[in-house]
Structure formats: structure tokens, C-alpha cells
Amino acid sequence: MKPSLAKGTRDFTSLEVSRRKYIINILQKNFELFGFQPLETPSFENLSTLTGKYGEEGDRLIFKILNSSINEAKDEKKTQMMNDFQKALDKPFSAESLTDKALRYDLTVPFARFVAMNHGKLTFPYKRYQIQPVWRADRPQKGRFREFYQCDADVVGSESLWQEVELVQLYLKSFAELRTSVTIHINNRKILSGLAEYAGITDKLIDFTVALDKLDKIGKDGVVKELLERNISQESIDKLDFLFTQSNDALENLLQLKEKFAGNEIGLKGVEELEFVITQSLNLDVDIQNLVFDITLARGLDYYTGAIFEVKADEAQMGSIGGGGRYDNLTEVFGVKNVPGIGISFGLDRIYLVMEELNLFPEDATSNVEYLFANFGGEETIEALKLIIQLREKGISAELYPDSAKINKQFTYAEKKGIKNLVFLGEEEIKNRTVTYKNLEAGEQKTVALEDFLG
């Protein structure tokens, strides 16, 4: 059988794993600096937990798991069940009859489920971070995979807009440490609801936001075409034409909206909230160039209710490398009311691709072995292992070449693995309590006292 990978998945080499850990370590450090605590949830959830939370398009991308009862059935029953499954593929059917579980689509809905199940035990506001893979049955392309990692930070139990301001700080601090220049695009779903009311399409809010969210992919003409296809009138589209000609001044654009939203309560509320977040961020020395009011930003997920974020790299064509928003009603679907929440996500895989493209990884982001001990066989091997143990106790990586092969072979192994130093502990060194080692990068060889070598 020819080995192959499932479409949309990847293997990661030691270099790639080390670099991914470099990103994760920076994010995890900052999550904890901002007061977030770690959480992990299962890889799969009940299908009912996930469906209906991501919008029509999102629901289609959920990876469903075939019921185990099909696999456990006896041969005759299994044949019948599979025949029923095949028939179901050719016509509309209830997915729940064939599957009741699915791989998680994101980390937010499972988090809301966790909060709903444990709200009596949690201290609110509850701040958690989560770094785990998610799965989407999407069409694989550059920066878009079927299995990928999300790195989320969420706060539930607080309506304070200072949480939005803090999350802007978290984004900017983390990307600054990753040496990645970014722009945070920000909007508010209440503004989008206000726009729908202004254009007389309140009943088409979801259709409006789904189409608008594709602006950067299909352009103005594509959005207009999709709005028409979703039975939104040309008259309403004409009223919204100003969306596509916004100025670069966020506060000026908000002032324009205030005028259009006269008497529009939900729209004015969105403007007020967004104005607070932008103004207070500027008061904390955020550069207005890094925080852009993007009135066409919609983010297609149905559960957002307030501020929404999207982060884009300034120097690479990669789409969004982070995003999130406020979701004040998400736990209600699990029977728990009055638990407002907001969260942001860092797209680990896309961040990696951006940093790789821009050559932003430092040399020490890789975890190469510091010392390889040449294997001379016999008593020298035991002495080498004793010294290796002492190095490891000091937190210094070291290994012994497993076979007493020709020295050229051991040199080649060290060079291919990127090991920094090759150590020679032969009969002479043991007798004199010295260590000889060669720095393979500089090509320099030294013999030093054993005590000096161990530091």
C-alpha cells in the first residue's frame, strides 16, 4: 500500500514542531500574564452541541462521526444499516439518524458547553485559555486546513467593555513578541443589526452579514451579487452603498453612522460600544494604524452579539491570522442564562506560515541537541553515559551515538541533526579527567578539564 495523508492534514518535522512550540510558548505566557487559566475539552462533542451555532455554511463544515452502533452491529444488521446510509446520501435526511457526535469545529462552543455544565463551580468573571486542534470539512488550500490548531482566550461573566480593551492589548503584545506586524480590524454586530434596520432588511440580517463577510474574497460586485441572490432588494443595497467607501478615520466613520442611525437604538448602541473600545485603546497608546474600524467586517458565526475582531498580517497575504468577538447569549442554548462572554483566537497554523514566509523565527526556536558523545565502545561508553547524565541534570541536552561505528559516520550523523558539539571521551581523556569536544559550527576543537566542561 502506498502511504498517504488524509486530505487537509499534515505531518510536522522536528523543526516545525519546535517552531510551533515557540509560538505556543509566547501565547501561553501572555495568556497567563493576562490572568487566563488553562482548559482542555474533548476532541469530539455531541452533534447537537455544535449544530446551529455557526450559521448555515459553518454547519456544513462540521465533521460528523458515524454512529458506533453501525460498526458494532452484526453482519446482517450492518449491511442493512449501510444500505440505509447509502440511500440517505441520495436524498435529504436527518443526520442524527446516522450520527450523534462530531469533531469540534472551534473551541468557543465547547467552552460555552463547559461553562453551562459547571457554572455553579466557577468564579466569575471566568478567564480561560485553550490551545487545541479543531476540524473543519473545508476545501484545503494555502493557510486553510481540515485539521488545525486554535489558541483561544475567553472571559465569561462580564459585560464590561474593558474586556475588549484588554483583548486588544493581548493581541498587540503577543504579536509584537512574535515580531509580526499586524492590524486589528474591529466592528460590532449591533452596528450590523443597525445597518440591516436602516436598510429595511432586519429579517435578512444573517444573509446580509454572511455576504458582507466575504468582501475581501469576492469584492464589492461579488457581495452585491450575493445579496441580490439572497432576495435583498436593489433599493436596500443602494442605501448600504456607503459601506464600500469608508474613510481611514475610524472616529469620523462612527460619527457618520450616528447621523444615519438617528432613532435606531441597536445601531447607536453598537456605535457607542465601539467608540469606547477604540477611544480607550488609543488612551493606552495603541497606534490608530494598528486598530482599524472595518464596517464591512461581519464574521460569519451566528453567536456573536457585540464587538468582533479580525487580525491580519501587514506584510504577508494570508487572510486573517486571528479573530473573535463578544457572544452574550451562547450559554442560553444550554439552559444557562445571563453569562455574557467575549473571546479571541490566534490561528497557530497561519501565524506559522506568515512567520516562515517573513523569516521571523529566531535561531533558538529549534531544539537541537547540544552535545553528541562519540561512541568508542567498552569502558569509554560507560564513562560517557555518566557524563551525559550529569549534563542532563543541569538541563543541557546530550546523547550518545548508539553504535561504536567509524568516527566519520558519527560526524555525519551530528551534522545532519544539527547537533552543535561532538564530544570525544576516550581512554586518554578519562585518564587525565579532561574532555575533548569539537564545535561543528565553528570547526574549533578544544580539550578542557572535566570540571570546567561541567561548569
Per-residue pLDDT of the chain (455 residues; tens, 9 = 90+): 899 999 999 999 999 999 999 999 999 999 999 999 999 999 999 999 999 888 788 889 999 998 876 555 555 555 565 566 555 555 444 545 578 899 999 999 999 999 999 999 999 999 999 999 999 998 888 778 999 999 999 999 999 999 999 999 999 999 999 999 999 999 999 999 999 999 999 888 888 888 888 887 898 899 889 999 998 999 999 988 888 888 878 888 898 899 889 999 999 999 999 999 999 999 999 998 899 999 888 876 678 899 999 999 999 988 899 999 999 988 998 999 999 999 999 999 999 999 999 999 998 887 789 999 999 988 999 999 999 999 999 999 999 999 999 999 999 999 999 899 999 999 999 999 999 999 998 999 999 999 999 98
**Are 287 and 434 part of one and the same domain?**
no
d(C-alpha 392, C-alpha 221), whole Å: 62
Q: What is the CATH number of the domain that holds 445?
A: 3.40.50.800
Domain that holds residue 392: 368-454
Domain end residue (candidates: 317, 335, 357): 357
Residue 227 resides in a domain: yes
**Are 311 and 386 part of one and the same domain?**
no
d(C-alpha 171, C-alpha 157), whole Å: 21
Q: What is the pLDDT of residue 48?
A: 93
Q: Which three cell numbers stand for residue 49?
A: 452541541
Q: What is the CATH number of the domain that holds 339?
A: 3.30.930.10
Q: How many domains does the chain have?
A: 2
Domain end residue (candidates: 313, 331, 357): 357
Residue 182 resides in a domain: yes
Q: What is the pLDDT of residue 93?
A: 44
Q: Which three cell numbers stand for residue 435?
A: 574532555
Residue 65 resides in a domain: no
Q: What is the pLDDT of residue 301?
A: 65
**Are 321 and 200 part of one and the same domain?**
yes
Give the count of beta carbons closer than 10 Å to the beta carbon of residue 338. 11
* 3 state SS for the chain: CCCCCCCCCCCCCHHHHHHHHHHHHHHHHHHHHCCCEECCCCCEEEHHHHCCCCHHHHHHCCCEECCHHHHHCCHHHHHHHHHHHHHHHCCCCCHHHCCCEEECCCCHHHHHHHHHHHCCCCCCCEEEEEEEEEECCCCCECCECCEEEEEEEEEECCCCCHHHHHHHHHHHHHHHHCCCCEEEEEEEHHHHHHHHHHCCCHHHHHHHHHHHCCHHHHHHHHHHHHHHHCCCCHHHHHHCHHHHHCCCCHHHHHHHHHHHCCCCHHHHHHHHHHHHHHHHHHHCCCCHHHEEECCCCCCCCCCCCCEEEEEEECCCCCCEEEEEEECCCHHHHHCCCCCCEEEEEEEHHHHHHHHHHCCCCCHHHCCCCCEEECCCCCHHHHHHHHHHHHHHHCCCCEEECCCCCCHHHHHHHHHHHCCCEEEECCHHHHHHCEEEEEECCCCEEEEEEHHHHHC
**Are 162 and 196 part of one and the same domain?**
yes
Specify the residue for cell string 495523508: 5
Domain end residue (candidates: 357, 385, 404): 357
Q: What is the pLDDT of residue 84?
A: 61
- Quote the radius of gyration of the chain (alpha carbons, Å): 28
Residue 96 resides in a domain: no
Specify the residue for cell string 445601531: 267
Cα 193-198-202 angle, rounded to 5 deg: 50
Residue 71 resides in a domain: no
Residue 75 resides in a domain: no
Q: What is the pLDDT of residue 119?
A: 93
Residue 8 resides in a domain: no
Q: Which three cell numbers stand for residue 277?
A: 473600545
Residue range 37-50, pLDDT digits in tens: 999 999 999 999 99
Residue range 167-196, pLDDT digits in tens: 999 999 999 999 999 999 999 999 999 999
pTM for this predicted structure: 0.85
Residue 49 resides in a domain: no
